[in-house]
Structure 1
């Protein structure tokens, strides 16, 4: 019965969720809880790490362009748009902040696309450096001092220094964890730094990228993770399923106020002095608990 109801809904039937849908974010309905990743600070915003200070809020967009008007989403008018600043290496991040009620399997599915800002009449296929996503997770408070904060990261490295690379990468190292302010309550680390990324074995993939800079094509993505073991269990993009045998996550000691955290983030990065745009048509997060 549950499957029949889901398959009767055109918006849900393009996904393969686990039995319990935790959230289904169709951006034709609004922001759906997605927000800006603001860095930690105490007393003054100037204490925020520079990586976070560059972030801005995602926006709803009809994917407008100068030559044929608006593109729209997969089956509606709006998508969630994430835009970097027009500076080589600039990044931006959007996230949804949740907690989990039982550690078990979860699945994130989405339809995404990315492109540079169409400021020139040429293809610009190497102007986007990367598009990616991550979970930011922490065990429940019963884990005590031995608990971990676990952050699985994956990015599609499209290009770097003008070279078209087109491969998936992961990381298991973060930057130095630094105290923020002098009260002793706040620390921070910029885990999206452009360092310590490792190639996912067999992770080369050529994504559909249209022939002029205003066109886009939507891509399907699925990432499976088990909160009970804190291990990734599956990764698919379009027709490709990737081997995660060597994949691992950033793992750091649990922080004192983040118990049962279940955050989901998407990010984009530009490789030139023009803005990169990443778009999400919809995002489905489901679990088996």
Structure 2
């Protein structure tokens, strides 16, 4: 048996890894039974005072570990035992929250992000409320290594626009534009709120109806997989459950490289509410892998 066949067999024999389809080397495999696994609050840049932080970032809260507790049956629980990572917005229409994992890459090759996720509004009404979550999504925040011939910072974004102003929409979108502004009186710190409502574009053929159960406390877990090439800084593929989407019309945010972010490989997940109640994004598990 060759090495590749043996590695594949070992992964498939492990029920926690066999649900994923990782590339040759696993960067991280996150389950939240014993902690946050490096996922933390996205804090905005500031200088001299916290009041200089962009209000988009100032609204963010720390992620939580959750058993998916609710009032009609106790706790739903994650896909497996233990806890899921919970990203909860504030109870204000349009509020967002983000969790991220900060790391760097050691070779500019192909990377893959896989996750099992679900989303719900806070179950504070005896109604399904399937259009109360505006969006959930993920992004990479990447920067070339310091020896790259044309270094840049690249941020592929994908969000599932579930609803807008009460209309149930259900489609994937991407973003290619953002705007920067300086912070304070110096030149060291700038900010940009790349999750602002502006400039989202529809992914061609990106309409998808996800499983959303019949009462406000039930959840069903959804699988996603996103491939990206760090050498060309291009998205390669994206699938959600049984659908693989055409990325020929997809583009990332491209901005000049920053002087202290070399080889950055950050991954973010986010949620947004469409009503004055909290939106919850839960992540049961995640796997980041690469070919190098």
TM range (shorter): over 0.9
Q: Cα distance, 1:180 vs. partner?
A: 1.1
Q: Is residue 166 from structure 1 mapped to residue 170 from structure 2 by the alignment?
A: yes
Q: Where do 1:269-284 residues align within 5 Å?
A: 269-284=272-287
Q: Which deviations, in whole Å up to 9, do the C-alpha atoms of 1:175-226 show, x marking residues without a partner?
A: x211111232111100000110000011000000000000000000000000
* 1:92 corresponds to: 97
- One of 218, 222, 227 as aligned partner of 1:219: 222
2:236 counterpart of 1:233: yes
- The size of the alignment, in residue pairs, is 287
Shift of 1:29: 2.4
Alignment counterpart, residue 181 of structure 1, candidates 184, 195, 201? 184
- Structure 2 counterpart of 1:101: 106
1:209 equivalent in structure 2: 212
TM-score, L = length of structure 2: 0.97
Residue deviations 1:4-60 (CA, integer Å, cap 9, x gap):
111111000000000000000011121000000000011110000000000000000
Which residue is 1:243 aligned to? 246
Q: What value does the CA root-mean-square deviation take over the aligned residues? A: 0.7
Which deviates further from its counterpart, 123-132 or 177-186?
A: 177-186
Specify every segment of 5 or more residues in structure 1 that has no aligned partner in the other structure, as ranges: none
3-state SS of the aligned residue for 2:103? strand
Give the structure-1-normalised TM-score: 0.98
Give 1:134's match in structure 2, choosing from 117, 131, 139: 139
Show structure 1 runs of 4+ deviating over 3 A.
none
Mapped to 1, the partners of 2:272 and 2:79 lie a distance apart of 23
1:225-273 CA distance string (max 9 Å, x none): 0000000001000000000001000000011110100000000000000
Q: Distance in 1 between matches of 2:96 and 2:279?
A: 9
SS at match of 2:148: helix
Q: What's the secondary structure of 2:147's corresponding residue?
A: helix
The SS at the match of 2:115 is strand
Question: In 2, Cα distance between the equivalents of 1:28 and 1:202?
Answer: 37
Unpaired runs of at least 5, structure 2 = 1-5
* Larger deviation, residues 11-20 vs 182-191: 182-191
Cα deviation for residue 152 of structure 1 reads: 0.1
2:36 paired residue number: 31
Q: Distance in 1 between matches of 2:260 and 2:54?
A: 20
Match of 2:267 among 264, 267, 270: 264
